[in-house]
Structures are given as structure tokens and as C-alpha cells.
Amino acid sequence: MMEAALQSLWAGGGTGAQASFAKGLYSLMLLSLRVATVLGMTPLLYAMPVPARVKVLLLIALSVALANGLAAQPATTLEQANWLDSALREIALGAVLSLGVLLAFAAFTVAGQMLDIQIGFGIAQVFDPMSNQPSPILVSAFNTLAIVLFFVVDGHHALLRGLAYSVERFPVGAAWSISDAWGPIMKQVSGMFSLGFALAAPVVFSILLVEMALGVVARNLPQINMFSMGIPVKIVVGMAVLSLWFGLMGGAMIRIYTTIYETWDAMFATVAARAA
């Protein structure tokens, strides 16, 4: 019924002001679906203990702010669009954009999983606020660190600028092709594991040296129980090296965050080249 009322106003069933309001409301509703999908599928909101009402109001406020900066949409673009088709396009586009964010944060999860296995924390489980389920200790720590540093380096401001730019490249309610995102997303997927390993490489290498040393000791002193001795040694060495490496991993973290905007920029450039 809402769609019928809006279409009636666009078709001349209301005054000029009413028709303009209907077009603006239609664009706002579609845009809010894109914004809600991007922020709802990424860990930026649900990692924080914020009430659901605050999250909804925040999404509405962001959508209104972006809608105020929208250029006038061509009448044919909105009048001939079916509400359901347009809504599904916006949700799909938001899901593709959020995938670029999720892949970046997944690199931190890869690093945490790698260290949990090497150090020996893989058995211990804690509650991870990002995934809302139990996860190994260092995975949860790296996920929380990724969120905190993302806000520290103003990644949220860059994300909002990217959303605003996406409205220019992908007009609200207009059709778009998944092929525009396929190449950049696959490139980011291929780089996710290498970036995750780069984040944990010094600690992994140190644990490898410890295991080699423990192997030499076990060979020369077979009466020692290396299982009970090796785990505490690896934990102490691993946490010590991780503490030292923490102050130097900023470059690797920035590189991971940069992949979000490189993926988005490649998508936008593909659309711009096709339009030209």
C-alpha cells in the first residue's frame, strides 16, 4: 500500500511538494536498507553493547544524512522501479560492500587462530562479543583489538565517506551487476590469509624455534615429560614475543584496513569505467 501511495503521488496524485516528499521518502527507505545491511553485517555495531533502539536511530540518522546529499534522481529511475526489486538490489549491494569489511576483520581472526594453535590456547574458550559465541582466547583478543584500532585510526569516518561515494556510483534503486564486485572481492579473499599470517609471523617463527629447542632437549633427555613442560614454555615465549611485536604491528594492521577501501574503490572504478 505504501508503494501504491508513493506511485500515485509520483504519477500526479498529489501536489508538487507531496510528489517531491514521496520521492525523497522512497529514496530514504531504499538507502536505509543499504546502510543497515552494511553496518548490520559488519562487527562495527554488534561488537559494542549498545541498545537496539540506539542502533536503529543511528542507522536512520545516517540514512537521513546521506539522503540529504543525494542528487536529484531521474524520474524514470524511481517511477518505473518495483519496490521489492529495488529493496533487494539495495540489500544485495549492502551485503557485497559489507563483505569487503568482513574479509578485512577476518584477517585478524586468521592471525588469532594461528597463534592459538601454536601457543596452546586452542583448547581454552572465552565469549567473543563479535561473533556472540565462544572462541579461543587470542581470536577474541585479536577481534576486539581490530574493532578498537579501527575506530582509533578513524576507519569509521573513511567507511562513512565510502558509503556516501557508493550512492554516487550506485544510484539508489538502480540496477547494478555483481560482476562489478567479483574481481575486487576475489582479490581481497586471496590476500586475507597472507595479511593474517603477516600479522602473526614473528610470533609463529619464535614458537617454531622454541619447538625445535624442545625437540633437541627431548632427544637428549628422554626422561623429561616434554608435553607438560613444552606448553608452559610456549605460552611464556609466545606471550612475551607477542607483547614486543604489538608495538610494531601497526603497519600490518593499517594494510589490512586499507584492503577495505581498495576493494570498494576498485568496485567504484569498474562502474565508472563502464558508464564512460
Query: Can you give the residue range of the structural domain that contains 117?
Result: 2-275
| pLDDT tens column, 116-153 | 877 877 666 666 655 566 677 788 888 888 888 888 88
pLDDT value for 128 = 61
pLDDT value for 74 = 43
Under 8 Å between Cβ of 73 and 171:
yes
Say if residue 18's pLDDT is above 70: no
pLDDT value for 24 = 66
pLDDT class of 173 with cuts at 50, 70, 90: confident
| pLDDT tens column, 86-113 | 888 888 888 888 888 888 888 998 888 8
pLDDT value for 35 = 87
Tell me which of 20-24, 203-207, 215-219 is least confident: 20-24
pLDDT class of 71 with cuts at 50, 70, 90: low
pLDDT value for 15 = 52
The count of domains in the chain is 1
Say if residue 10's pLDDT is above 60: no
pLDDT class of 72 with cuts at 50, 70, 90: very low
Say if residue 69's pLDDT is above 50: yes
Compare 239 and 10 and report the one with higher pLDDT: 239
pLDDT value for 263 = 87
* % of the chain residues with pLDDT over 70: 78
- Average pLDDT, integer, range 171-191: 80
pLDDT value for 170 = 82
Say if residue 81's pLDDT is above 60: no
pLDDT class of 76 with cuts at 50, 70, 90: very low
| pLDDT tens column, 249-269 | 888 888 888 888 888 888 887
pLDDT class of 23 with cuts at 50, 70, 90: low
- Average pLDDT, integer, range 74-91: 65
